[in-house]
Structure 1
Amino acid sequence: MNRRDDLLERVTDHVLEQGLIGLTLRPVAAAIGTSDRMLIYHFGSRDALVSAVVDAATQRAIDEVDALPAAAGVRAGVNALWAAYRTEPLHRCLHVYCQAAATGLIGQEPYLSDARASNERWATALAGYLGRCGAPADVVGRIVTLVDSSLYGFHLDLATDRPEELARGVDDLARAAAGLAGA
């Protein structure tokens, strides 16, 4: 692993632990045992570092989805995906993306292009997982759109809503996704 990759891993670990909101170079550099000048040298700017961290967190989330075993059907798959969303490390990885979106980073450059690329990779991972759970190839894209947007909303609601209420809502979503799959 080269120095830049090592720094990115350590900054990503720090952000997953501490959050993305309010990230400044000097404190994060001190926390990981380097200097802000070293971060600038390897990443060019704070914006480039944040983009790289969001991308790294997305990759970690993709790796988690890729490692999920296939469930017995789309409904079970959506519910299993929700269970994974609520546990570490996927929960924190998704939280970083939500923080980036909440702070307006995702909707403007230089983050917009990076976010779109990450979203495409994320959708591909979800499609692969839901395909392994039995979603037909001709509708898996529609199912991914429904499930991805909905689960992000449920994920945000974890801060305020009761888990059992969210679980019922997720199961309703899972039934709808299974219906799209023809199950």
Structure 2
Amino acid sequence: MAKPSAKERILDSYEEILIEQGPGGITLEAVAAHAGVSKGGLLYHFGSKEALVDGLVERLATLSDEDIEHARKAPEGVVSWYLRTAITDVTQRKPLHRTTMATIRIMLSEPRVSEAVRSYNQRVHDLISEHVGDPLTAELVILVGDGLYLRAALGRDDPSPLLDRIDEIKARIQR
């Protein structure tokens, strides 16, 4: 596996600091040190804190596009895929989960991050609506998925038994 580029390491570090400390922990020096690059190296890729936010939004958009494309191609169907990945993205520490956690930490202070999240959420809603044929059922699928995601993210219970019941959960929602 190829070593991540300096730019990717910087974004990874930015996300980790946001997740662990929130926006108050973000300084260019802290991000550079965490990424193992000089401040000049960080500034080469991201000329300011605002550029780091832009990089985060761009990463969220890229990962979201990939996520929606995977959903469209999922052999088990969009709804089962969505509900399953609500758990597995967290338990397997997928990049989209980490980016989502970082964006949650910064949304209140960065309107462009909030807009990117709203845009992704709307695309997910549209995709699920397209596959279930009913906006209310789509909303119920999303609410269940959000609950599964939050439960897995908080580590409240072992989510594994629910993974075996995704088809049953899907059937109950659609009933």
Distance 1:40 1:176, change over 3 A: farther
Aligned to 2:156: 160
The 3-state SS of whatever aligns with 1:162 is: coil
Residue 53 of structure 1 corresponds to 56
Q: Which has the higher contact order (CA 8 A, sep 6+)?
A: 1
Distance 2:114 2:101 in 1: 11
CA RMSD of aligned residues (A): 3.7
Paired with 1:173 and 1:58, the residues of 2 have a C-alpha distance of 29
AA aligned to 1:82 is L
Specify the alignment match of 2:8 in structure 1: 9
- CA deviation after TM superposition for structure 1 residue 8, in Å: 4.7
Q: Given the alignment, which residue of 93, 97, 116 partners 1:94?
A: 97
Structure 2 unaligned spans of 5+: none
- Asked whether the equivalents of residues 11 and 53 of structure 1 are also in contact (C-alpha less than 8 Å), the reply is no
Q: What residue number does 2:126 align with?
A: 127
Q: Which is richer in helix?
A: 2
Tell me the distance in 1 between the aligned counterparts of 2:57 and 2:93. 13
Post-superposition CA distance 1:8-59 (Å, at most 9, x none): 533334456x463235332432344533345456545335413531441342
Aligned AA for 1:20?
L
Pick closer, same or farther for the CA change 1:81–1:95 going to 2, 3 Å.
same
- 4+ residue runs of structure 1 moved beyond 6 angstroms? none
Aligned length: 161
1:66 Cα deviation after fit: 0.8
3-state secondary structure, aligned to 2:107: coil
The alignment partner of 1:106 has SS state of helix
**1:162 and 1:40, CA in 2 relative to 1: closer, same or farther beyond 3 A?**
same
Describe the shift of the 1:107–1:13 C-alpha distance in structure 2 as closer, same or farther (beyond 3 A).
closer
- Deviations along 1:49-103, one digit per CA (max 9) or x if unpaired, are 135314413421331231232456xxx53222232341487734124323432x3
Q: 1:20 aligns with which of 14, 18, 21?
A: 18
Structure 2-normalised TM-score? 0.63
Per-residue CA deviations over 1:154-176 (Å, capped at 9, x if unaligned) read 21211111214544886565235
Q: Tell me the amino acid that sits aligned with residue 162 of structure 1.
A: D
Give distance in 1, aligned partners of 2:107 and 2:9: 22
* Structure 1 residue ranges without an equivalent (≥5): 1-5
Q: In structure 2, the residue corresponding to 1:128 is in which secondary structure?
A: helix
Give secondary structure in 1 for the equivalent of 2:108.
Answer: coil
